[in-house]
């Protein structure tokens, strides 16, 4: 009884156990109530009686007693805590499995990083993928890998979105009906067995370019099992000309690799080697940019090109020439190379007066330290001539290297698909397997591949692909392929180095990789991609500790010692019979890969669709580009709809007048006019493949142009591509000079007005000197090659929405960093400049002053912070921002419902809603993360974030190292050193905004002989 | 009435036609409300205005559902029709306050005939204007954050922002205008109460009259309060549009960042306000036969005010252009070039025509006395003043500092629907006002009669 009394007020679970004996005794002796609620009641327990007659539990009466503040707080605190706990104990309906033991490395909230690779046209782009609790969220370059050194290209960045694309094919289908993988396997068994007897004579496999050793091995195993089967290759953006050129020059297919870090003089003959899609471009940009230091050993770039490329924009000398004229120039260079001393006088050489001479002189004075590059779309003869020139200059082995081809099956792809079509038409093919790619859309128009598929000449057609695209529609079976981020595999980078492709996530839609698919065909059994890759490399590995080797390779992202060794080859000294020259009066058409959606495989990728093309800043469409002279002659304005007729096919597209294009030449890009791309990509632009024949993949003459009188809206994101204002003024937005001038006046970029008199402001300036950090950024315009990579890196890192063509057209795109492109001078041969513009993080920010609710504020580290939750959306800040870097959510631009996109987003960055302003934050989530790391690592010790360990997303992925971010309070930081240079200037500094982002003025290194 | 007034009254048109008595004035004005049946024309006009108001509600509903993206605004032109209309409506309101407050203090008793509906116009115009700041924000459900209320988070508005000042300026203005208008109505409510035969109508007017008995003490207090309110409202005439002009002048955008804006905005406001007064007065006096009370003299005086303020506005344009050249600031020079030759040049030239060239016709006496000519010129001025705000807001933003970020503004149908919707709302309110309230101040009119000489305070019955 005493026990009970003492424990009367404690909670029941803590109360002492009921003393059953005493209860029994009580029950026996007492005539308790007939119905009882508990043993206590039955036993007439006094506490129970009390509780029964008190309305409230005991402690409750304390309320009416003189209130003890402490008691009040205790109860309040407890109820708050309990209220919170109700939230915690809500369990999901589905069974969940807790960590019994937490996986060793996983810290929830902290990302993991895995090395992998992504391929484009067979070439691997080595990457590090950031993964948040098993969801890949960001792609970075692999800093250890020689082909990346930390940079990426736009296609690698954007492949994340492709992986999560809800429009990707999600199931095996037969004639459009959903099927299981098993039913496909059993459906294939019969036909394969039939073919087995025929040694596979009726089997054709069509793949894109494959560099994967493991997949090539599987293909060969398959061909061994079916010796009569054939492996065809078709990649619309192929390198046939390069291959044929190498065969001409060396009698064998070789890969050419360049070392631009050693090149003092570079001559590009229509080669866009500083842009994504050119094999090795990431490394080339790094090497090239490293030599654009006006205080160091600056290189010189000559570009003679048929289009207007970002490589041309970086050139010290650029000429726009019709593609067919370039051969003559290559020949002249080649011939003059052997003259000693070469013909140097101006005006002597050929039909391009004054050009070849000085170039030859320049090349000759840089023997062994120069490079001549030919574009992939130039004829084999040009490539052969270029091999000869490089050999004559002694560049081979110094700046130019020849290696085995990266392509595992280096055949002439045009011939290959022609042969396939011929075989189909003659009824030789019983089973056609299209392993990736989209030939019904992108095969040469004269083959009419779509109709060949449709004609049922091949009884059984199987398509394996990421999308249920134009080709899938024409095949009975479609197998949904897994994305490279979901599968095991391997691939070679431009130098031959093999990267193992690691899956970051299980296939979202249970797709199969090409490797798994081929192994199924070859062995008729399911094998996991992991085992296939691992087994292949186990066979290749000669050393003992394979496990260590394997782990190292996965960890580093590449396999040691797989880079191809340079070959020593002698170019033939013949003169290579000239390719037929074109009629100079006929209009030439150039067909090129698209700068953002490539050959059409990225059509459904909103990031790439909305990424402005580097030179014309168009989004969502391709255009018929023509030079100003030609447009004037034909009375064509931008956005006029033109009809092109070529080889009996007609195509309608919108015109775009592009400065720098030669006369009598038009350029169109591939990849648009898709009919089955998905919700994002279907219907935009026109299909240039219809003009593309197997005889003239990259262009020909004889195209007819007609004006239709209609206009078509093109969405260009840049208002004006000139620094000159229409009233004849000039704004020094990009400051530039020549190397000679710079040496005479190193302070040319300095602007007196840009340093406002101190004390003019009403508000006392904040003293950042006492802070640990003051963040700042310097962007080196010498290095920026306009590759747009920063834009996509930012989009991915900061969960930036895609808004669609209609919104982009009226200027509502959301990019936090943009790359402005300006032209200057003669429109037919302009100088061009790139200027990446993120938020300037002004110290005297005009936006902060005008926000009525204080949603944009300055931090003690000098950041101009945006508080989304506080923003009511007056847009006053954007109006008052002279740099127009603020972006507004005019609608609910973000997709808040699609589950795939939810998985894709960076959990460290809030997803903005409708009616809110947003802008570049200098990746504040990264700053915070590093600050936490630095502070937790050094409890009570003054350890700061080290210079260089904290990188913004744009900086991290910049292949050119043009963006440097850091602490400007630390005079030793890289950014402080750059800002101390005489080239440093503030954009619109005369407004007194005191931007934290500054630019290093551009210095060009023109040939003094050509200058005069 | 001062001697000076009498002298001028003999030389120009009278402010009230001769032959009226206290009773005839009261009869004339109160009968419009109490006995005159609503005509078909009234129903038609009100119906159209009401439909336009419904269109406004529809546009606002869609706006709240979808977001401000339904308008033509974009980056770089973050403000479009909403702000243009806001400034335009606020400006129109100014004439009412000027007439009722400043002219009262200056003892310009001719104002008595037009101050009532000018004040009503102010109130309705300010209501229209007040809609836009709410509608134009991205998250209108949070617009109350602009008010300095004691938030539990301790967050206050940002007091350095001119938009914040706007909130105070416009809300003060709306409050004072409402009070002023209502106070002025009280004696007339008393008259209507006394004359109404229908007991319900009498009850309503009786309640609105707030116990007005017309005693000497009432009149004394009324006059004092009215004068005080006039004194309060007077600085508002200058301050409200000055603050509105700060929205632009404080910004750094070329075309905004200029110190001439406050006086130039105030003058522009009065300019457009008088144009609106005339646009309303001319048809009203015709339809309701009030030519005796709103005489040619009122029209002429208004025309002269417009001429004067129009010239101040023209001076503003001139100075802007001059400073563009004289400052040597390339952005300002380009701004001028862009206005004259850029993509919006037709709009700018129309603005010059509407605001400067055409109003010069008002120098001609014959046109000043022609109601039709005045009506047309006023219409032109209203368009011109709308264009002026369009040029300031949109054209300045469309091409500012970075060539790469230049843009174009294309208003959508939602922009137009919202704009015309507010005009509908304004007119609907005016139609109701004409029928339900004495649109000319009865007791103040009576003070204009010769019989009232020297004993204005006794005018009420």
Which of B155, B158, B336 to mutate: most A Cβ within 10 Å?
B158
Q: Which residues of B touch A853 (CB under 8 A)?
A: 145-146, 157-158
Please check whether residue A492 lies inside any domain of the structure.
Answer: yes
Please check whether residue A208 lies inside any domain of the structure.
Answer: yes
B residues 406-435 lying closer than 8 A (beta carbon) to A? 406-407, 410
- What residues are paired with B367 via a beta bridge? none
Please check whether residue B353 lies inside any domain of the structure.
Answer: yes
Peptide bond into B76 cis (omega under 30): yes
d(CA A891, CA B66): 6
This model of the complex carries an ipTM of 0.91
Q: Which residues of B touch A896 (CB under 8 A)?
A: none
Peptide bond into A278 cis (omega under 30): no
- What residues are paired with A179 via a beta bridge? A172
Q: Is B65 on the interface with A (CB under 8 A)?
A: no
| CB count in 10 Å sphere of residue A182 | 10
Q: How far is A746 from chain B (nearest CA, A)?
A: 25
Check whether residue A201 and residue A252 sit in a common domain: no
Please check whether residue A47 lies inside any domain of the structure.
Answer: yes
What kind and span of H or E run contains B433?
helix B413-436
Sheet order of strands, A300-305 included: A317-320, A300-305, A265-269, A370-374
Q: Which residues of A touch B404 (CB under 8 A)?
A: 718-721, 733, 818, 820, 822, 835, 837
d(CA B439, CA A865): 53
Provide the domain count of chain A.
5
Q: Is the pTM of this model over 0.80?
A: yes
Q: How far is B119 from chain A (nearest CA, A)?
A: 30
Check whether residue A807 and residue A945 sit in a common domain: yes
Give the residue carrying structure tokens 């600085």: B235
Q: Is B149 on the interface with A (CB under 8 A)?
A: no
Measure CB to CB from residue B78 to each of A725, A871, A879 and give the nearest one. Answer: A879
Which domain, by its residues, includes A202?
A: 172-238+409-556
In degrees rounded to 5, what are phi and psi of residue A499?
Answer: -110, 140
Whether the Cβ atoms of residue B430 and residue B124 lie closer than 8 Å to each other: yes
Q: Which two tokens stand for residue A198?
A: 């025929």
In the predicted model, is pLDDT for residue B87 greater than 50? yes
Q: How far is B67 from chain A (nearest CA, A)?
A: 5
When the pLDDT of each residue in chain B is averaged and rounded to a whole number, the result is: 87
Q: How far is B355 from chain A (nearest CA, A)?
A: 26
**Which residue in chain B has the smallest CA separation from A845?**
B252
Q: Which residues of B touch A852 (CB under 8 A)?
A: 146, 157-158, 161, 163-164, 167
- A731, B330: Cβ pair inside 8 Å? yes
Radius of gyration for the alpha carbons in chain A, expressed in angstroms and rounded: 34
Check whether residue A191 and residue A262 sit in a common domain: no
Q: Which residues of B touch A714 (CB under 8 A)?
A: none
Please check whether residue B416 lies inside any domain of the structure.
Answer: yes
- pLDDT at position B21 is 79
Q: Flag the least confident range among A547-561, A749-763, B262-276, B335-349.
A: A749-763
Check whether residue A281 and residue A374 sit in a common domain: yes
Listed as ranges, residues in chain A with pLDDT below 70 are: 1-20, 22-105, 336-356, 524, 579, 581, 752-756, 938-942, 1011-1012
CA distances from A613 to A409, A596, A788, A789, B178 (A): 32, 6, 8, 11, 57
Measure CB to CB from residue A873 to each of B139, B160, B410 and give the nearest one. Answer: B139
Measure CB to CB from residue A733 to each of B143, B399, B402 and give the nearest one. Answer: B402
Instruction: Determine the average pLDDT of the residues in B251-276.
Output: 91
Which of B143, B157, B252 to mutate: most A Cβ within 10 Å?
B252
Tell me the pLDDT band of B55, cut-offs 50, 70 and 90: very high
- pLDDT at position A77 is 65
Check whether residue A289 and residue A232 sit in a common domain: no
Q: How far is B177 from chain A (nearest CA, A)?
A: 25
B residues 9-28 lying closer than 8 A (beta carbon) to A? none
Q: Which two tokens stand for residue A888?
A: 């507004």
Q: How far is A914 from chain B (nearest CA, A)?
A: 7
Check whether residue A853 and residue A961 sit in a common domain: yes
- DSSP assignment of A589-650, as one string? EEEE-BTTTBTTTTTT-HHHHTSPPTTT-EES---EEE-HHHHHHHT--TTEEEEEEETTEE
Please check whether residue A151 lies inside any domain of the structure.
Answer: no
Q: Which residues of B touch A846 (CB under 8 A)?
A: 251-252
Which residue, A63, A88, A113, sits at the end of a domain? A88
Give the residue carrying structure tokens 């004067």: B308
- A810, B74: Cβ pair inside 8 Å? yes
How many Cβ contacts (< 8 angstroms) between chains A and B?
Answer: 173
Check whether residue A893 and residue A961 sit in a common domain: yes
Q: What is the share, in percent, of chain B residues with pLDDT greater than 70?
A: 95
Please check whether residue A662 lies inside any domain of the structure.
Answer: yes
**Which residue in chain B has the smallest CA separation from A868?**
B139
Measure CB to CB from residue A872 to each of B69, B76, B139 and give the nearest one. Answer: B139
| CB count in 10 Å sphere of residue A739 | 16
Provide the domain count of chain B.
1
- A872, B68: Cβ pair inside 8 Å? no
| CB count in 10 Å sphere of residue B314 | 18
Q: What is the pLDDT of residues A919-945, one digit of tens each?
A: 999 999 999 988 888 888 766 566 788
Q: Is B197 on the interface with A (CB under 8 A)?
A: no
- B403, A822: Cβ pair inside 8 Å? yes
When the pLDDT of each residue in chain A is averaged and rounded to a whole number, the result is: 85
Q: Is B168 on the interface with A (CB under 8 A)?
A: no
- B67, A807: Cβ pair inside 8 Å? no
B residues 89-108 lying closer than 8 A (beta carbon) to A? none
Please check whether residue A576 lies inside any domain of the structure.
Answer: no
Q: Which residues of A touch B156 (CB under 8 A)?
A: 854
Q: Is B162 on the interface with A (CB under 8 A)?
A: yes
Measure CB to CB from residue A880 to each of B66, B253, B333 and give the nearest one. Answer: B253
CATH code assigned at A486: 3.40.50.740
Whether the Cβ atoms of residue A867 and residue A897 lie closer than 8 Å to each other: no
Please check whether residue A435 lies inside any domain of the structure.
Answer: yes
**Which residue in chain A has the smallest CA separation from B148?**
A853
Instruction: Determine the average pLDDT of the residues in B261-278.
Output: 91
Q: Residue A1003's closest CA among A977, A985, A976?
A: A985
Which domain, by its residues, includes B296?
A: 22-148+156-458
Check whether residue A703 and residue A748 sit in a common domain: no
Which of A838, A871, A874 to mutate: most B Cβ within 10 Å?
A874
Measure CB to CB from residue B404 to each of A718, A871, A916 and give the nearest one. Answer: A718
Tell me the pLDDT band of B6, cut-offs 50, 70 and 90: very low
Q: How far is A640 from chain B (nearest CA, A)?
A: 19
Q: How far is A629 from chain B (nearest CA, A)?
A: 24
CATH code assigned at B193: 1.20.1630.10
Torsion sign across C-alpha atoms A76, A80, A82, A86: positive
Check whether residue A648 and residue A680 sit in a common domain: yes
**Which residue in chain B has the smallest CA separation from A820?**
B404
Which of A818, A875, A993 to mutate: most B Cβ within 10 Å?
A875
Q: What is the pLDDT of residues A470-495, one digit of tens each?
A: 999 999 999 999 999 998 999 999 99
Torsion sign across C-alpha atoms A309, A311, A316, A319: negative
Q: Which residues of A touch B75 (CB under 8 A)?
A: 811-812, 878, 884, 886-888
- pLDDT at position B10 is 43
Whether the Cβ atoms of residue A590 and residue A698 lie closer than 8 Å to each other: yes
**Which residue in chain B has the smallest CA separation from A850?**
B161
Please check whether residue A271 lies inside any domain of the structure.
Answer: yes
Please check whether residue B16 lies inside any domain of the structure.
Answer: no
CATH code assigned at A340: 3.40.228.10
Check whether residue A935 and residue A986 sit in a common domain: yes
Q: What is the pLDDT of residues A555-564, one digit of tens each?
A: 888 888 888 9
Check whether residue A80 and residue A42 sit in a common domain: yes
């Amino acid at each position: 009884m005493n026990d009970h009394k003492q424990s009367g007020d404690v909670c029941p679970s803590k109360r002492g156990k009921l003393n059953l004996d005493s209860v029994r005794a009580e029950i026996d002796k007492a005539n308790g109530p007939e119905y009882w609620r508990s043993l206590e009641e039955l036993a007439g327990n006094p506490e129970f009686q009390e509780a029964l007659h008190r309305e409230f539990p005991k402690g409750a009466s304390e309320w009416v007693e003189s209130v003890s503040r402490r008691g009040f707080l205790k109860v309040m605190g407890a109820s708050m805590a309990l209220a919170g706990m109700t939230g915690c104990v809500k369990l999901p309906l589905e069974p969940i499995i807790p960590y019994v033991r937490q996986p060793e490395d996983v810290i929830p909230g902290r990302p993991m990083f895995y090395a992998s690779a992504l391929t484009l046209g067979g070439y691997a782009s080595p990457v590090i993928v950031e993964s948040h609790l098993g969801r890949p969220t960001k792609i970075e370059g692999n800093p250890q890998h020689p082909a990346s050194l930390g940079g990426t290209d736009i296609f690698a960045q954007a492949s994340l979105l492709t992986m999560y694309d809800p429009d990707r094919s999600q199931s095996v289908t037969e004639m459009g009906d959903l099927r299981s993988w098993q039913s496909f396997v059993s459906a294939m068994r019969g036909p394969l067995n039939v073919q087995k007897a025929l040694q596979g004579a009726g089997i054709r496999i069509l793949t894109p370019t494959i560099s994967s050793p493991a997949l090539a091995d599987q293909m060969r195993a398959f061909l061994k099992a079916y010796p009569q089967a054939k492996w065809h290759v078709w990649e619309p953006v192929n390198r046939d000309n390069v291959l044929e050129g190498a065969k001409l020059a060396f009698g064998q297919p070789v890969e050419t690799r360049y070392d631009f870090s050693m090149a003092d003089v570079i001559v590009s003959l229509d080669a866009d080697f500083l842009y994504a899609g050119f094999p090795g471009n990431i490394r080339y940009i790094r090497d090239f940019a490293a030599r654009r230091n006006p205080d160091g050993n600056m290189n010189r770039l000559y570009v003679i090109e048929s289009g207007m490329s970002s490589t041309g924009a970086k050139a010290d000398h650029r000429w726009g020439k019709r593609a067919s004229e370039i051969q003559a120039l290559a020949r002249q260079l080649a011939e003059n190379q052997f003259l000693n001393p070469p013909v140097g006088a101006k005006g002597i050489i050929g039909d391009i007066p004054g050009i070849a001479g000085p170039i030859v002189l320049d090349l000759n004075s840089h023997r062994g330290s120069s490079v001549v590059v030919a574009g992939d779309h130039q004829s084999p003869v040009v490539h052969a001539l270029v091999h000869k020139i490089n050999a004559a200059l002694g560049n081979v082995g110094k700046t130019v290297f020849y290696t085995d081809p990266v392509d595992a099956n280096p055949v002439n792809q045009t011939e290959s698909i022609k042969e396939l079509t011929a075989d189909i038409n003659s009824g030789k093919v019983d089973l056609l397997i299209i392993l990736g790619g989209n030939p019904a859309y992108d095969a040469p128009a004269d083959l009419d591949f779509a109709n060949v598929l449709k004609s049922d000449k091949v009884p059984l057609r199987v398509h394996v692909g990421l999308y249920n695209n134009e080709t899938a529609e024409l095949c009975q079976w479609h197998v949904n392929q897994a994305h490279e981020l979901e599968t095991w595999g391997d691939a070679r980078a431009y130098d031959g180095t093999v990267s193992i492709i690691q899956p970051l996530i299980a296939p979202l839609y249970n797709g199969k990789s090409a490797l798994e698919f081929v192994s199924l065909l070859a062995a008729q059994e399911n094998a996991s991609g992991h085992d296939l890759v691992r087994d292949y490399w186990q066979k290749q590995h000669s050393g003992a500790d394979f496990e260590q080797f394997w782990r190292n390779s996965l960890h580093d992202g590449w396999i040691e010692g797989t880079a191809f060794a340079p070959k020593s080859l002698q170019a033939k000294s013949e003169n290579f019979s000239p390719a037929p020259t074109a009629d100079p009066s006929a209009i030439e058409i150039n067909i090129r890969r698209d700068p953002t959606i490539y050959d059409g495989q990225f059509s459904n990728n909103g990031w790439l669709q909305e990424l402005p093309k580097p030179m014309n800043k168009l989004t969502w469409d391709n255009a018929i580009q023509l030079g100003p002279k030609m447009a004037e002659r034909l009375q064509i304005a931008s956005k006029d709809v033109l009809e092109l007729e070529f080889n009996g096919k007609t195509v309608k597209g919108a015109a775009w007048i592009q400065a720098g294009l030669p006369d009598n030449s038009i350029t169109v890009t591939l990849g648009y006019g898709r009919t089955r791309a998905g919700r994002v990509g279907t219907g935009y632009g026109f299909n240039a493949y219809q003009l593309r024949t197997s005889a003239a993949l990259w262009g020909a003459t004889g195209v007819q142009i007609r004006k239709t009188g209609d206009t078509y809206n093109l969405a260009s994101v840049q208002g004006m591509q000139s620094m000159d204002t229409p009233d004849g003024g000039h704004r020094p937005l990009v400051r530039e000079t020549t190397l000679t001038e710079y040496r005479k006046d190193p302070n040319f970029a300095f602007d007196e007005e840009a340093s406002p008199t101190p004390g003019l402001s009403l508000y006392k300036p904040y003293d950042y000197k006492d802070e640990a950090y003051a963040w700042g950024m310097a962007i080196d315009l010498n290095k920026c090659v306009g590759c747009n990579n920063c834009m996509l890196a930012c989009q991915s890192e900061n969960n930036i929405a895609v808004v669609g063509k209609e919104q982009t057209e009226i200027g509502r795109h959301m990019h936090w960093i943009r790359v402005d492109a300006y032209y200057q001078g003669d429109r037919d041969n302009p100088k061009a400049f790139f200027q990446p513009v993120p938020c300037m993080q002004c110290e005297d920010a005009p936006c902060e002053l005008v926000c009525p609710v204080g949603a944009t504020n300055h931090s003690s580290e000098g950041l101009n912070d945006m508080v989304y939750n506080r923003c009511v959306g007056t847009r006053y800040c954007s109006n008052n921002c002279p740099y127009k870097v603020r972006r507004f959510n005019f609608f609910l631009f973000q997709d808040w419902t699609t589950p795939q996109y939810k998985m894709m987003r960076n959990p460290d960055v809030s997803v903005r809603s409708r009616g809110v302003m947003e802008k570049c934050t200098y990746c504040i989530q990264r700053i915070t993360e590093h600050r936490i790391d630095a502070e937790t690592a050094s409890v009570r010790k003054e350890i700061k974030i080290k210079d260089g360990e904290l990188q913004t997303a744009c900086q991290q992925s910049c292949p050119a190292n043009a963006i440097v971010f850091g602490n400007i309070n630390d005079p030793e930081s890289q950014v402080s050193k750059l800002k101390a240079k005489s080239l440093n200037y503030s954009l619109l500094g005369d407004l007194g905004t005191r931007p934290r982002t500054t630019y290093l003025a551009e210095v060009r290194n023109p040939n003094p002989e050509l200058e005069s | 009435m001062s001697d000076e007034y009498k002298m001028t009254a003999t030389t120009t048109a009278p402010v009230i036609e001769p032959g009226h008595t206290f009773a005839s004035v009261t009869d004339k004005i109160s009968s419009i409300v109490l006995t005159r049946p609503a005509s078909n024309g009234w129903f038609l006009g009100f119906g159209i205005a009401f439909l336009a108001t419904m269109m406004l509600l529809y546009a606002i509903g869609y706006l709240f559902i979808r977001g401000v993206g339904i308008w033509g605004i974009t980056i770089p032109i973050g403000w479009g029709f909403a702000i243009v209309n806001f400034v335009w409506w606020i400006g129109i309101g100014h004439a009412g306050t000027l007439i009722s407050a400043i002219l009262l203090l200056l003892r310009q008793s001719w104002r008595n005939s037009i101050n009532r509906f000018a004040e009503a116009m102010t109130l309705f115009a300010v209501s229209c204007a007040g809609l836009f700041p709410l509608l134009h924000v991205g998250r209108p459900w949070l617009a109350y954050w602009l008010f300095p209320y004691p938030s539990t988070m301790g967050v206050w508005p940002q007091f350095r922002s001119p938009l914040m000042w706007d909130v105070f300026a416009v809300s003060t203005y709306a409050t004072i205008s409402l009070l002023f208008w209502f106070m002025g109505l009280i004696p007339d409510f008393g008259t209507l109460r006394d004359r109404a035969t229908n007991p319900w109508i009498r009850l309503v007017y009786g309640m609105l009259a707030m116990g007005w008995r017309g005693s000497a003490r009432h009149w004394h207090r009324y006059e004092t309060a009215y004068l005080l309110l006039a004194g309060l409202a007077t600085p508002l005439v200058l301050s409200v549009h000055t603050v509105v002009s700060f929205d632009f002048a404080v910004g750094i955008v070329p075309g905004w960042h200029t110190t001439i804006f406050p006086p130039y905005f105030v003058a522009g406001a009065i300019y457009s306000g008088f144009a609106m007064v005339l646009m309303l007065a001319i048809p009203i006096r015709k339809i309701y036969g009030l030519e005796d009370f709103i005489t040619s003299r009122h029209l002429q005086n208004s025309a002269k005010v417009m001429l004067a303020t129009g010239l101040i506005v023209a001076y503003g344009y001139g100075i802007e252009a001059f400073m563009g050249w004289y400052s040597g600031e390339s952005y300002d020079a380009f701004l001028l070039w862009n206005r004259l030759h850029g993509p919006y040049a037709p709009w700018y030239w129309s603005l010059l025509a509407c605001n400067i060239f055409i109003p010069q016709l008002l120098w001609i006496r014959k046109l000043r006395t022609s109601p039709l000519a005045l009506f047309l010129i006023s219409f032109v001025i209203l368009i011109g003043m709308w264009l002026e705000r369009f040029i300031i807001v949109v054209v300045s933003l469309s091409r500012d500092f970075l060539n790469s970020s230049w843009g174009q503004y294309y208003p959508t149908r939602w922009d137009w629907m919202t704009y015309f919707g507010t005009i509908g709302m304004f007119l609907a309110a005016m139609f109701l006002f004409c029928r339900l309230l004495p649109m000319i101040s009865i007791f103040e009119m009576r003070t204009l009669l010769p019989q009232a000489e020297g004993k204005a305070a006794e005018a009420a019955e």
